[in-house]
Structure 1
Amino acid sequence: MATERAVLCGYYGMGNMGDEALLASLLEMLPPHITPVVLSGNPQFTRDRYGVEAIPRKAAFEILPNLRSAGSFIWGGGSLMQDSSSALNPFYYGGLMGLAQQLGLRTIALAQGLGPLRRPWTQALTRRCLLGCDAVTVRDRTSASQLHNWGIPFTLAPDPVWALESRSPKGFWDLPAPRVAVVLRPHPLLTPSRLDRLIQALAALQTATDAAIVLVPFQPSQDLPLARTIYSQLSEKCYLWQSDDPRALKGLFRGVEMAICMRLHGLIAAASEGCRCWGLSYDPKVSQVLAEFDLPGWELADLPQESTTISQAWLEHYANGDPLSQTRLQATIDRARLHQEALVQALL
């Protein structure tokens, strides 16, 4: 089969390891005859990390000729079409998808989490883009319901990071065991008062278990200052762990007794590696994963008022909680591969 270039579009090269995990997953899914060209915020990093061609994500003079020489354009996972963080997101991603469709490329929306779309024009743009796609897959029931209402065919499957092949993180096993991983991010719901309660609860959990607390900033530009704040208030057995390899970041969860996660892909990575998980939800996408997989956790807005209540719940889960069963985990991984089946079929 002749080779074909495909332009991959997502929130890549922006320092968010959740989105890097989505890119790594997408690259694993591509059939051999597809040569990827990644739109990246840091093309050199993307080239070095994945060994693929990459161009600046906003360099029109490079994007246009690459679209013209490509056969396919792929939105590669994540909540791209949403206007909660910025109304510019749908304009950027929708504009590129619309341009690709005008140029006659095969277009695919893969593993999308739609919304929130609060403005009529962002809803209309998203619907128009998806109507023009050759294949659409989504990762949650809310997005599936929206597509059903719009009359757009789709495949529903778990986030592809469930099926991402992990890698043993170098040096991680030198940290003292047992270990508890903590993946937090700044958010208006994580107020100073709530953060203080969480830090007190972590200190109590550490005292009761003698566990090393491993702080894992998934997006260091946002998460690292928060991790340093927590680090400064815990005992000597507290560590900061960073990696720019999403497979290694996923693999570290094999070596922890429990993970406490705000970030969606921290939660997915931990659960998929057979780790006990506790979720702290700031977003419906996190709440949906907690509900779908019966994982314990709290909405941040409903965080208990007493740190002792938090630490006692964590200690009970640390001592007696169970990870996902192997049967359910394997079934989830198998279903996550439906994204790949839809992608390969569309690229034939």
Structure 2
Amino acid sequence: MGPIRAVCCGYYGKGNAGDEALLASLLQMLPEGVTPVVLSGNPPQTRDRYQVSAYNRMSAFSVWQVLRQSDVFIWGGGSLIQDVTSAVSPLYYAGLMGLAQGLGLKTIAWGQGVGPLQRPFTRQIAKQTFSRCTRVSVRDRGSAALLAQWQIPFTMAPDPVWALEGKPVPGLWDLPAPRVAVNLRSHPLLTPARLDTLTRALISFQKATNTCLLLVPFQASQDLAIAQSIQAQLPGPNHLLMLEDPRELKGLFRGVEMTIGMRLHSLIMAAAEGCRCFALSYDPKVTQLMAELELPGWELADIPEDPNIISKLWIEHYANGEPLSDISIQAIVDRALIHEELLHTFFANFFSSP
């Protein structure tokens, strides 16, 4: 049998570092003999960054042609099936999965964060689509509980990005130390008043700790303006870092003492690299991670109105908080590699079939 073509589908090529990290993790974990074909919002960028074939995810003709010429279809991680951001998103991904299944491709839902699903219609579509997958793996207990309720077999393991191989960031060690990373994203709960409070808390924190603050946007369209606004008000050393390679982005946190993060993958990457973390949760997936790792933090809606209260807690965590131990990190990474094991087992059976 010749090379197996596997179509990789996710929120790729859209400028979101977390989803790019999921793609990088998937490509890292695919066994030899499998040729990945990526559906992307920016095919030239995806081809150049990962050295893979990539096609426009919104071109019906291209998608149809790619599926007809392939053997396997993989939902490649992330919160693809949720209707909080948009009711269109689950319809798009479920539609592609359904088309692949209709064309006879083997289908894998891999590293999924399922939900929230607030509409009965999208819940039913999700249930039907997952039930027809050849393999399913999820990354959190909430997703597992939903699939168990639907009586759909699944494998659960930590987010695949835990096991992504990081790369050194050129010039990082030339920046002043110690360093603290900050990642905030736009969200209705991050009101102008709350952003102002957090900014004033960061100013107080920096004055007390003499740290270099690294503003780290994960998605330019939602994070960059906030990072620039904060940077303009900081009194001490700071640097804004927009890293395109997700492996470098993860490697960044090796040189950081503490991370204050909103985005799920900012916290996962930081924790995986042995960095102290303080979470600001805007989403159930972040709240679940806080509970699982016992991370200090707040729901955005519960942030104190007094910036001094916030800065004092940050200073306390910076001075006395503990990152995950090397043993704990390795245990999580080992479990995250269950996603890789699922792929290798699946494709081993695929190669051995007549």
Q: TM-score range by the shorter chain?
A: over 0.9
Q: Counterpart in 2 of 1:174?
A: 174
**Aligned-residue offset at 1:195:** 0.9
**Aligned-residue offset at 1:118:** 1.1
In structure 2, what is the Cα distance between the partners aligned to 1:107 and 1:61? 20
Question: How many residues are aligned here?
Answer: 348
SS at match of 2:128: helix
Stretches of structure 1 lacking an aligned partner (at least 5 in a row): none
Alignment of 1:194 with 2:194, yes or no, is yes
Q: Counterpart in 1 of 2:351?
A: none
In structure 2, what is the Cα distance between the partners aligned to 1:69 and 1:293? 42
Q: Counterpart in 1 of 2:93?
A: 93
In structure 1, what is the Cα distance between the partners aligned to 2:68 and 2:2? 17
In structure 2, what is the Cα distance between the partners aligned to 1:179 and 1:342? 37
**Aligned-residue offset at 1:345:** 1.5
In structure 2, what is the Cα distance between the partners aligned to 1:72 and 1:131? 16
Q: What is the letter of the counterpart of residue 83 of structure 1?
A: D
In structure 1, what is the Cα distance between the partners aligned to 2:153 and 2:344? 17
Q: What is the letter of the counterpart of residue 176 of structure 2?
A: P
Q: Counterpart in 2 of 1:58?
A: 58
Q: What is the letter of the counterpart of residue 261 of structure 1?
A: G
SS at match of 2:118: coil
SS at match of 1:54: strand
Q: What is the letter of the counterpart of residue 227 of structure 1?
A: A
In structure 2, what is the Cα distance between the partners aligned to 1:106 and 1:263? 32
SS at match of 1:309: helix
Q: How does 1:58-77 map to 2 (within 5 A)?
A: 58-77=58-77
Q: Counterpart in 2 of 1:347?
A: 347
In structure 2, what is the Cα distance between the partners aligned to 1:159 and 1:64? 30
In structure 2, what is the Cα distance between the partners aligned to 1:24 and 1:164? 7
Q: Counterpart in 2 of 1:210?
A: 210
Q: Counterpart in 1 of 2:352?
A: none
Q: Counterpart in 2 of 1:120?
A: 120
In the TM superposition, what whole-angstrom CA distance separates every residue of 1:83-135 from its partner, at most 9, and x where no partner exists? 11111111110000000001110100001001111111111111111111110
In the TM superposition, what whole-angstrom CA distance separates every residue of 1:315-339 from its partner, at most 9, and x where no partner exists? 0110111000111111000000011
**Aligned-residue offset at 1:347:** 2.0
Q: Counterpart in 2 of 1:294?
A: 294
Name the % identity.
Answer: 61
Q: What is the letter of the counterpart of residue 109 of structure 2?
A: A
SS at match of 1:12: coil
Alignment of 1:31 with 2:31, yes or no, is yes
> What TM-score results when the alignment is normalised by the length of structure 2?
0.97
Q: What is the letter of the counterpart of residue 280 of structure 1?
A: L
SS at match of 2:54: strand
Q: How does 1:129-140 map to 2 (within 5 A)?
A: 129-140=129-140
Question: Does the CA-based 8 Å contact 2:210-2:236 persist in structure 1?
Answer: no
Question: Does the CA-based 8 Å contact 2:206-2:236 persist in structure 1?
Answer: no
Q: Counterpart in 1 of 2:163?
A: 163
Q: What is the letter of the counterpart of residue 51 of structure 1?
A: Q
Question: Does the CA-based 8 Å contact 2:83-2:117 persist in structure 1?
Answer: yes
Q: Counterpart in 1 of 2:326?
A: 326
**Aligned-residue offset at 1:65:** 1.3
**Aligned-residue offset at 1:236:** 4.1
SS at match of 1:38: strand
**Aligned-residue offset at 1:2:** 2.8
Q: How does 1:148-297 map to 2 (within 5 A)?
A: 148-297=148-297
Q: What is the letter of the counterpart of residue 308 of structure 2?
A: T
**Aligned-residue offset at 1:189:** 0.6
SS at match of 1:13: coil
In structure 2, what is the Cα distance between the partners aligned to 1:199 and 1:282? 17
In structure 1, what is the Cα distance between the partners aligned to 2:346 and 2:327? 30
SS at match of 2:235: coil
Q: What is the letter of the counterpart of residue 88 of structure 2?
A: L
Stretches of structure 2 lacking an aligned partner (at least 5 in a row): 349-354
In structure 2, what is the Cα distance between the partners aligned to 1:310 and 1:190? 15
In structure 1, what is the Cα distance between the partners aligned to 2:90 and 2:276? 36
In structure 1, what is the Cα distance between the partners aligned to 2:340 and 2:237? 41
SS at match of 1:317: helix
CA-based RMSD? 0.8
In structure 2, what is the Cα distance between the partners aligned to 1:305 and 1:225? 22
In the TM superposition, what whole-angstrom CA distance separates every residue of 1:187-237 from its partner, at most 9, and x where no partner exists? 111111111111111111111111011100000121111111101111241
**Aligned-residue offset at 1:238:** 1.7
SS at match of 1:11: coil
SS at match of 1:110: strand
Q: What is the letter of the counterpart of residue 70 of structure 1?
A: S
In the TM superposition, what whole-angstrom CA distance separates every residue of 1:241-288 from its partner, at most 9, and x where no partner exists? 111000101111010111000000000000000000000000000000
